[in-house]
Amino acid sequence: MKRACDKIHMRKKLREYTENLERLIKEKSELQSHLSSLGLMIGSVSHGIKGLLTGLDGGMYQVESGFSKENSLQIEEGWNIVKLMVERIRKMVLDILYYAKERNLNWENVDVLSFAEEVAMVVERNISSGNIEFIRDFDASAGKFEIDSGCIHSALINILENAVDACIRDKSKERHQIIFKVASDEKNINFEVCDNGTGMDMETREKLFTLFFSTKGTRGTGLGLFISNKIIQQHGGSIKVSSLPGQGSKFTISIPKKTSEFLKERSETEPQKPVK
Ligand SMILES: Nc1ncnc2c1ncn2[C@@H]1O[C@H](COP(=O)(O)OP(=O)(O)O)[C@@H](O)[C@H]1O
Ligand SMILES: [Mg+2]
């Protein structure tokens, strides 16, 4: 009897140790991946900033040389380069700050239509090319959903900006179109961003949510979709992508209408994970 009891006790202890060990290993590997992404981040940021500083130097040289020759056209050209570079550095730093910040989500009940309209207006204002048509396809009965509107706003802007980039970079068609669609089903609000720009090959499709993955050279940071994906996950939602090279891409973003309830249910059934 005693031997049996001992054996049961031992088994229990062993299971506890194993579980503990598993947890430790998991924590260690999370820490490791955090550190290596930090290392990657510093490398990539330094590289990006170096490129932008070279551009800035070029602009400053033009301004100086314009002043000494009293050539106002050259001064203006140089100044435009300086402004462009400063704007890019600002964007990059803001993106990084966004990624680095630990945040608690600020849940609000938001009207889907006016929210989508605000997002659309920002994008429309930024489309400078006359050859891109921006089309809204909004379901008037979409109602409300519960989100952190600042976060979802940036997530959608990132995706829409990529669509604009894809149209600008695609030289194979004369006219381009971006369709921004909003619909609602029983549980979710579904956004769709459809463009007929460059499209993506398989490698890009597989890597597009990876931190710092970009095919845009110094013009890209590779932060946009990484951040968008993170935000949408924090809302209990999902992003799907379909795309063909040369034809265009479609991003479908689903967000539960009652996100905070949904997340609460999930955290009650699953062990609590810190949201990063
Ligand atoms: N609509 C799109 N059409 C074509 N390629 C896209 C689209 N959206 C994203 N991509 C690809 O995914 C990459 C990562 O996007 P993102 O994370 O926003 O970084 P960035 O825009 O700074 O390059 C882009 O460089 C591009 O190759
Ligand atoms: Mg982007």
pLDDT digits (tens, 9 = 90+) for 78-97: 999 999 989 888 887 877 77
Determine whether the shortest distance from the Cβ of 214 to ligand 1 is under 6 A.
Answer: yes
Q: Which ligand is nearest to the CA of 169?
A: 1
Tell me, yes or no, whether 88 and 175 share the same domain.
no
- Where helices occur in the chain by DSSP H, the ranges are 2-68, 72-100, 112-126, 149-169, 202-207, 224-234, 259-269
Q: Is residue 135 part of a domain?
A: yes
Determine whether the shortest distance from the Cβ of 196 to ligand 1 is under 6 A.
Answer: no
The β-bridge partners of 177 are 133
Q: Is residue 138 part of a domain?
A: yes
Rounded to whole angstroms, the Cα distance separating 113 from 195 reads 21
Choose the residue to mutate in 214, 218, 239, 249 for probing ligand 1, maximizing ligand atoms within 8 Å of C-beta: 214
Tell me, yes or no, whether 17 and 90 share the same domain.
yes
Tell me, yes or no, whether 147 and 201 share the same domain.
yes
Determine whether the shortest distance from the Cβ of 197 to ligand 1 is under 6 A.
Answer: yes
Q: Is residue 271 part of a domain?
A: no
Which token pair is 137? Answer: 């396809």
Instruction: Say if residues 145 and 233 touch (Cβ distance below 8 Å).
Output: no
Tell me, yes or no, whether 118 and 97 share the same domain.
no
Determine whether the shortest distance from the Cβ of 208 to ligand 1 is under 6 A.
Answer: yes
Q: Which of 40, 67, 101 is the last residue of a domain?
A: 101
Q: Which of 82, 101, 120 is the last residue of a domain?
A: 101
- Residues near ligand 2 ion, CB 5 Å cutoff: 162, 224
Task: Ligand 1, residue 198: give the atom nearest the CA.
Answer: 4
Q: Is residue 35 part of a domain?
A: yes
pLDDT digits (tens, 9 = 90+) for 184-216: 999 999 999 999 999 999 999 999 998 878 999
Q: Is residue 12 part of a domain?
A: yes
Which amino acid residue places its CA nearest to atom 12 of ligand 1? 208
Q: What is the pLDDT of residue 31?
A: 77
The β-bridge partners of 146 are 109
Tell me, yes or no, whether 87 and 167 share the same domain.
no
Tell me, yes or no, whether 18 and 115 share the same domain.
no
Burial class of 204 by CB neighbour count within 10 A (0 to 12, 13 to 18, 19+): middle
Structural domains in the chain (count): 2
Q: Is residue 273 part of a domain?
A: no
Tell me, yes or no, whether 114 and 250 share the same domain.
yes
Q: How far is the CA of 214 from the centre of ligand 1 (A)?
A: 6
Q: Is residue 276 part of a domain?
A: no
Rounded to whole angstroms, the Cα distance separating 46 from 71 reads 34
- Rg of the Cα atoms in the chain: 24
Domain membership of residue 185 as a residue range: 108-265
Which token pair is 74? Answer: 């050259």
Cα dihedral 171, 173, 176, 181 in deg (nearest 10): -110
237's torsion region: left (phi>0), alpha (psi -120 to 50) or beta? Answer: beta
Tell me, yes or no, whether 173 and 76 share the same domain.
no
Choose the residue to mutate in 208, 226, 227 for probing ligand 1, maximizing ligand atoms within 8 Å of C-beta: 208
Tell me, yes or no, whether 116 and 184 share the same domain.
yes
Instruction: Say if residues 217 and 224 touch (Cβ distance below 8 Å).
Output: no
Which amino acid residue places its CA nearest to atom 1 of ligand 1? 163
CATH of the domain at 169: 3.30.565.10
Determine whether the shortest distance from the Cβ of 222 to ligand 1 is under 6 A.
Answer: yes
Q: How far is the CA of 221 from the centre of ligand 1 (A)?
A: 9
For CA atoms 63, 66, 67, 73, the dihedral sign is negative
Tell me, yes or no, whether 57 and 75 share the same domain.
yes
Q: What is the mean pLDDT of each run of 10 residues along the chain (276 residues)?
A: 93 92 85 71 76 90 96 95 89 75 81 96 86 95 93 94 96 96 95 98 94 84 88 93 97 91 66 47
Tell me, yes or no, whether 34 and 162 share the same domain.
no
Q: Which of 67, 85, 101 is the last residue of a domain?
A: 101
Q: Is residue 40 part of a domain?
A: yes
Tell me, yes or no, whether 41 and 152 share the same domain.
no
Q: What is the pLDDT of residue 134?
A: 97
